[in-house]
Amino acid sequence: MYTEIEKRVQKELFALADEAYRDFQSPLVPNIEKERILGVRTPILRRFAGDFAKTDDAAAFCSALPHRYYDENNLHAFLVEKILDIDALEAALDRFLPYVDNWATCDSMNPKIFAKYPEKRLVMAKKWIASDHTYTIRYGMGILMRYDLDETFTPDVLTLITSVRSEEYYVNMMQAWFFATALAKQWDTTLPYLTEKRLPVWVHNKTIQKAIESYRITAEQKDFLRTLKIK
């Protein structure tokens, strides 16, 4: 049974839905049944989240887990982004992440407050990476990729990501994306993970592929990376 708030939110989301966009979006999240995708375009959903966050009903909506619709999960993600207290944010993410069921919702949730708390952020990311839930692991890895490959970078973050071993495609894809980004930002420190074959073969080769596709990697670097592919 849906709560009254859930019913009202669903009604408003249905009113904002775009069937053509749903048809476009559905193949991008193949593990989500098409009937669970309404097709609310992201800018529209973010505007809705901005208004909804100002109401007393937002907290009640976020407590009503699990959500039925993909668009509801994305709305929840956009509401979480607006939390300005780091401890409240951690609690909200700990509640929500176990219910995240696709890469798009996972990757769209980027609270800016993370930038202000590097030590706390690292502790949180480590906790999530140690999870046994695919998208919780992916989220923790994604946070480190966004925030800890620049000014706060230490080699330990590469070791942490390397420690992940999974059979899950969306975990391994994030691991490869992380290392491709690390090559672009911390080439000298990251390269030995490829030259010394420290990554699983699939992740190793996908890292090279994604790095070669990146405009942040030089032509000379790309030529060298091609020689490291494992056949």
Distance CA 110, CA 120 (A): 15
Distance CA 89, CA 120 (A): 11
Structure tokens at 182: 């690390």
Q: What is the pLDDT of residue 67?
A: 96
Mean pLDDT of 72-100: 97
% of residues, the chain, pLDDT over 90: 97
Tell me, yes or no, whether 126 and 27 share the same domain: no
Flag whether pLDDT at 171 surpasses 80: yes
Tell me, yes or no, whether 109 and 162 share the same domain: no
Distance CA 93, CA 95 (A): 5
Tell me, yes or no, whether 137 and 217 share the same domain: yes
11-33 burial code (b ≥16 CB/10 A, e <16): eebeeebeeebbeebbeebeebe
Structure tokens at 8: 């009202």
Flag whether pLDDT at 136 surpasses 80: yes
- CB of 76 closer than 8 Å to CB of 57: no
Q: What is the pLDDT of residue 3?
A: 84
Q: Show which of 63, 92, 116 is a domain's final residue.
A: 116
* pTM of the model as a whole: 0.95
Flag whether pLDDT at 118 surpasses 90: yes
Per-residue model confidence as pLDDT tens digits over 172-204: 999 999 999 999 999 999 999 999 999 999 999
Task: Kindly report which listed range (3-7, 36-40, 130-134) carries the lowest average pLDDT score.
Answer: 3-7
Q: Tokens 């509801």 label which residue?
A: 72
Q: What is the pLDDT of residue 44?
A: 97
Q: How confident is the model at residue 2 (pLDDT cuts 50, 70, 90)?
A: confident
Helix ranges (H only) for 65-111 are: 70-81, 86-96, 103-108
DSSP-derived 3-state class of residue 151: coil
Q: What is the pLDDT of residue 208?
A: 98
- CB of 131 closer than 8 Å to CB of 166: no
Distance CA 201, CA 146 (A): 24
Tell me, yes or no, whether 107 and 38 share the same domain: yes
63-80 burial code (b ≥16 CB/10 A, e <16): eeeebebbbbbbbbbbbb
How many folded domains does the chain comprise?
Answer: 2
Per-residue model confidence as pLDDT tens digits over 33-42: 999 999 999 9
Q: Which domain holds residue 12?
A: 1-116
Number of neighbouring beta carbons within 10 Å of residue 135: 24
Q: Letter for the amino acid at 25? A: Q
- CB of 29 closer than 8 Å to CB of 55: no
Q: Show which of 50, 84, 116 is a domain's final residue.
A: 116
Indicate which CATH number applies to the domain containing 152. Answer: 1.25.40
- CB of 102 closer than 8 Å to CB of 138: no
Per-residue model confidence as pLDDT tens digits over 198-227: 999 999 999 999 999 999 999 999 999 999
Tell me, yes or no, whether 11 and 106 share the same domain: yes
Per-residue model confidence as pLDDT tens digits over 9-60: 999 999 999 999 999 999 999 999 999 999 999 999 999 999 999 999 999 9
Tell me, yes or no, whether 96 and 132 share the same domain: no
Tell me, yes or no, whether 178 and 72 share the same domain: no
